[in-house]
Chain A
């Protein structure tokens, strides 16, 4: 039974948590809330991250429009995802929450605008 020391990154509290595998069950301790438990298990089974970046925008106040993946995507797809996002260009006006790209890389997760411009 290996104990894994992790820092929960779900919120800025940054709880120091411990995840222990007991047969098929994961036991999480040190988390201040249930989200920490879910994170601990996920981090050992299928780590995911929300990706935040920008895309080109024409006709806006700025040159770049901030975007994010609506949900977390598998960690090992981050760079592939960035490459794909690099090719996107949108035109103003855009509203916060607008879908910029659907189902990126077959992850089932959409890329959405994170501000209006």
Chain B
């Protein structure tokens, strides 16, 4: 089998990338998805709030996914479901397997990685105690409740205040469960402020910041948990324990980009994002292999995923048409004070069309700051920011004409106290 572009993953990232590649003149495209349907994680995110930027209306996850699935089908883009990509080999030969075709070797002109991310599990955070039933990641519980139709518990404690945890707090409450508490290790929530308001405050669910889980009780089924306040070194403080009688513990302790395939293919990863190092075209360290969506860095808004994926799809098409320039000057991006990471990692101005979008996360909660962008040491942009939080991705647009620099230039973004 031979395709111009093979997209791995049929979530919103893969769908948007495939559609955009086709719109840019490449016809021979295949999307490979291991699940039984397209749409990725969105199919289980039945709450609304998706698509405000892209569609100017508030959609639920399945509605958002369906718009892209319909467009993909109408464009006649090929896809294979229930198909797992096993390996990306030399010269962009992809090994995949399913029960109908068996083992397949697929030669791709360009590859787009769109495998999304997965949740950190209990193992990743070393929770002490026995291993009773009733401990779920929030996303697994979401899938059970929203798609399969199984309720996972009646009295619930949630560890971690990421968006999925917050949304599940509301979801479980609506379904008749009692959510006793949400405990968050950090002194701030990892979720969007709007979700704290509409998922916790609306239902009087307490949020305990700077708290962690110290014990799970119960042998066959969770019977209770103990949470405690932590000190500045995130160690539990004796005497601050709170006991809860509950039958279920949901973990919402972060997402990790799903990069086993990329790693095995020898693609360079960023140790902070756990995703591939990419350039302005969303191309990874292997020429002709592009990446987009949560596989690159965890996005909180699917609209950003869509925008980024369109860029990857368009550039994969340009790559096939040999329109990407690989020579010329390259600048690296570098996070400065207050910024944790920046995507993309490298910028070749020749390939930037009108503007370059940088995406980043801050490393703490800040108020009244200025975000300053410098290209090759020269300040080109300064923006006032009233409120910054690690849970909310920031983006900066840089005009192409501002991208002038010498050899080995660096583009930095940092935070300064307003008026300092």
Contacts and interface: CB of A to CB of B under 8 A. Distances in A.
Contact of B52 (A6, A12, A114): A12
B149 A116 contact: no
Given A64-B146, A64-B147, A14 B63 contact: no
Given A14-B193, A49-B202, A66-B62, 9 more contacts: A11-B49, A12-B192, A12-B300, A12-B301, A16-B387, A61-B36, A62-B147, A64-B148, A82-B176
B194 A52 contact: no
Contacts of B65: 115
Contacts of A116: 66
Given A114-B60, A116-B66, A12 B36 contact: no
Given A54-B149, A64-B149, A114-B60, A82 B46 contact: no
Interface string A70-83: 00000100110010
B192 A66 contact: no
Choose among B37, B43, B146 the residue with the greatest number of A CB atoms under 10 Å from its CB.
B146
A63 interface: yes
Contacts of B301: 12
A7 B193 contact: yes
Interface string A48-72: 0111111010000111101010000
A96 B63 contact: yes
B37 A54 contact: no
B100 interface: no
A50 to B, nearest CB: 5
Given A7-B197, A53-B174, A114-B46, A63 B147 contact: yes
A82 B174 contact: yes
Interface residues of B, number: 36
B384 interface: no
B397 to A, nearest CB: 16
Nearest to A117: B62
6 closest cross-chain pairs (CB), A and B:
A63-B149, A115-B62, A66-B46, A14-B193, A9-B194, A14-B194
Contacts of A19: none
Given A16-B387, A49-B202, A61 B37 contact: yes
B238 interface: no
Contacts of A78: 174
Contacts of A63: 147-149
A87 B66 CA distance: 26
B392 interface: yes
A111 interface: no
Nearest to B193: A14
B48 interface: yes
Contacts of B387: 16
A8 interface: yes
B46 A52 contact: yes
Contacts of B46: 52-54, 66, 68, 114
B198 interface: yes
A51 B46 CA distance: 10
B392 A14 contact: yes
12 contacts: A6-B197, A9-B198, A11-B49, A12-B52, A12-B194, A14-B194, A62-B147, A64-B147, A75-B202, A96-B63, A115-B43, A115-B66
A52 B64 CA distance: 14
Nearest to B367: A16
B177 to A, nearest CB: 12
A50 B202 contact: no
B147 A96 contact: no
B197 A9 contact: yes
B198 A49 contact: yes
B122 interface: no
A51 B149 contact: no
Nearest to B50: A12
A114 B147 CA distance: 13
Contacts of A66: 46, 60-62, 146
A14 B194 CA distance: 5
